Chain A
Amino acid sequence: MSDANIGKEDYMHSQFKYWKPYVSPFDPCKPILVKSYSTPPQLYMNFQPIGLAQFQSPIQALKHGTLWPQLYSPYPDPHKGVKPK
């Protein structure tokens, strides 16, 4: 797996889910139109498979905060509640 694709939401499951909460015409503060919550990769992995592929180099692993590309999650939401196109 190339480094550029790690954490991209187009592989496997999306890392964040988005929903549009009700917005009242009388909201006192500027409304947040889209809210998000985290659905990290381990949520879809019942048990860590034996021999799960690791990053190529220690530097790469250190940069992502995990040994396994499949368990990398770009926390917090890089889109800050704005749904990516």
Chain B
Amino acid sequence: MYYYEKKLQYPVRVSTCNPMLAKFLIEQYGGADGELAAALRYMNQRYTIPDKVIGVLNDIATEEFSHLEMIATMVYKLTKDASPEQMKAAGLGDHYANHDRALFYHDASGVPWTAAYIQAKGDPIADLYEDIAAEEKARATYQWLIDMSDDPDLNDALKFLREREIVHSLRFREAVEIIKDDRNTKKIFKLG
């Protein structure tokens, strides 16, 4: 069960009217390494992961949904007041033809989101390694977005998100350490 708090995890400010950034930001919304893929992947893998690390997956999945909201807010702010002509000029003509100004789960090239982006192998090591890779890919994507954006306020929120991906990657690595470790077992080393 969830409780909804009607505020963003971290404030999103956009100071320059540059709808073209929305076209790039949507990669983190409905792209292969985006927040939707991350949230759904962890939220699903948690059922069959060892008890010791269920909480890690559950908490990170929940936070990814908060990140999804932040990305949605950025995209919405950048496109909600654009005319069809401005959308076309920003490279969003393809999007406008199909969605008007509505948001949709697709990547920067307009490829719709698919469950084929994610996996649940059932093998805890395989699943956690996929999760670590996903966080690193998301971290890289945020870097490329920051590289292309010259909006300092937008970059502030993007840098927060990039940092969270790093933290998540570390937490997943920690989860691997927890489940591979021989904790609570007595090891006897005989000498001579």
* Chain A residues in the interface with B (C-beta under 8 A): 21, 24, 26-32
Minimum CB distance partner of A26 in chain B: B13
Show 12 A/B contacts (Cβ-Cβ < 8 Å), sorted by A: A21-B80, A24-B77, A26-B13, A26-B15, A28-B14, A28-B15, A28-B17, A28-B77, A28-B151, A29-B19, A29-B81, A31-B80
Distance of A27 Cα from B73 Cα, bound (Å): 11
How would you classify the secondary structure of chain A's contact residues: helix, strand, loop or mixed? loop
Q: Interface residue count for B (Cβ, 8 Å)? A: 13
B16: Cβ under 8 A from any A Cβ? yes
- B15 contacts A29, CB within 8 Å? no
A28–B81 CA distance with the chains assembled, in angstroms = 9
Is B60 engaged at the interface, CB distance under 8 Å to the other chain?
Answer: no
The smallest C-beta distance from A24 to any residue of chain B, in angstroms, reads 8
Chain B residues whose CB sits within 8 angstroms of the CB of A26 once the complex forms:
13-15
Residues on A with beta carbons closer than 8 Å to the beta carbon of B176? none
Determine whether the beta carbon of A27 is less than 8 Å from that of B13. no
Q: How far, in angstroms, from A55 to B78 measured CA to CA in the complex?
A: 45
In the complex, residue of chain B having the shortest beta-carbon distance to the beta carbon of A37: B100
User: Nearest Cβ distance between residue B156 and chain A, in whole angstroms?
Assistant: 13
* Interchain CB contact under 8 A, A29 and B13: no
Partner of B16, one of A21, A28, A30, A31: A28
- How far, in angstroms, from A32 to B15 measured CA to CA in the complex? 17
When distances are taken between beta carbons in the complex, the residues of chain A under 8 Å from B14 are 26, 28
* Selected contact of B78 from candidates A21, A24, A29, A32, CB within 8 Å: A29
Question: What separation, in Å, do the CA atoms of A31 and B110 have in the docked complex?
Answer: 26
Chain B residues 73 to 130 lying within 8 A of chain A, measured CB to CB, are 77-78, 80-82
What 0/1 pattern do residues 121 to 165 of B give for CB contact below 8 A with A? 000000000000000000000000000000100000000000000
Q: How far is the CA of A30 from the CA of B16 in the complex (A)?
A: 11
Question: Closest chain B residue to A31 by CB distance?
Answer: B81
Note all chain B residues with C-beta closer than 8 A to A24: 77
B19-35, CB under 8 A of A: which get 1 and which 0? Answer: 10000000000000000
- B80–A32 touching, CB < 8 Å: yes
Minimum Cβ distance to chain A for residue B9 (Å): 17
Q: Which residues of B contact A30 (CB under 8 A)?
A: 17, 81
Complex: A21 Cα to B101 Cα, angstroms: 13
Q: Does B18 contact A (CB under 8 A)?
A: yes
Residue of B nearest to A33 (CB): B81
Q: Could you tell me the distance in whole angstroms from the C-beta of B37 to the nearest C-beta in chain A?
A: 27
- How far does the alpha carbon of A30 sit from the alpha carbon of B78 in the complex, in Å? 10
Q: Which of B16, B19, B81 has the most CB of A within 10 A?
A: B81
